[in-house]
Chain A
């Protein structure tokens, strides 16, 4: 980080200017935003009805070494984030991702168990309600047949032309930061083998 970089960063702060277009930190200058992807692969999408995604818990993730030392478990808050990302894509898909989908409220969440390294969390989301302003999903997290968590999550829709957004770039929200790439992961596994393609040509 050069000197100019450093002084501007400290003057504005890394996140204190969100909402103001003119003062928003320039991602090109401050580096890429932190990846915030808490699902590994989208397994199933039944438009407007349900979705399933998975998250593999691994000791390669740094945070597990702090949460907790000697007893690594997937943090409940990040599990909720993965559940919200699964439900958010389910809702966003219904409107062809025209709206910015923001997690507004979690009216209910219950954790029954935990997930440890080596576990595969399966997030099953069901669309409960959907309307122009937003929607509600119910998501269940399981490891095998073990129920780990269940939540009800409310999302609101915002539009990038909404004056209340103050010109915030949609790229800062749910469907960017490569999150949508998780939908491609599943497709990649189903792609035709390279040898077949060669044979076709």
Chain B
């Protein structure tokens, strides 16, 4: 399984091609929109290329959800994301640094949640194994404490 550093190197390559930036600009803290100049149409290009590069499938809205905090749905009031909105962001963007965003939770800052670090964590989670084997070779869920077939207790 690739380490986060290895994932970062590949993501640097993907973004350099998709956004026409230098690899060195693609640092973990760089934001896609603010720092690297990505536009909404680039997101689809990035998704296509991440799928190809890492051999993963990314569902619609899984990496770049749409309408994250529209006014009128209680998630944002007067251009500021509410507590409910923050909870929703944590749920929909589990790899983003929502705590840092919560310091100044303006709707216009939501795009800053899309960082390279978020992409690395997203890909790492996608690549993480979902099953593990007990000593008898049974396939068990990665978070299982016991093998459901032979009862083996995982440490």
Contact = CB atoms under 8 A, between A and B. Distances in A.
A133 B41 contact: no
Interface in B79-116: none
Given A131-B60, A132-B60, A133-B60, A104 B44 contact: yes
Interface in B44-103: 44-45, 47-48, 51-52, 60
Given A131-B60, A133-B60, A156 B18 contact: no
B45 A133 contact: no
B18 A107 contact: yes
Say what secondary structure dominates the interface of chain B. Answer: helix
B41 to A, nearest CB: 4
A87 interface: no
Interface in B4-31: 17-18
B60 A154 contact: no
A129 B48 contact: yes
A136 interface: yes
Interface centre among B18, B42, B45, B52 (most CB of A within 10 A): B45
A120 B38 CA distance: 38
B48 A104 contact: no
A162 to B, nearest CB: 11
Contacts of A63: none
Nearest to B17: A107
Interface in A93-129: 104-105, 107, 129
A80 B1 CA distance: 41
A105 B48 contact: no
Contacts of B18: 107
Interface of A: 104-105, 107, 129, 131-134, 136, 154, 156
22 contacts: A104-B41, A104-B44, A104-B45, A105-B41, A105-B42, A105-B44, A105-B45, A107-B18, A107-B45, A129-B48, A129-B51, A129-B52, A131-B60, A132-B60, A133-B47, A134-B44, A136-B48, A154-B41, A154-B44, A154-B45, A154-B48, A156-B44
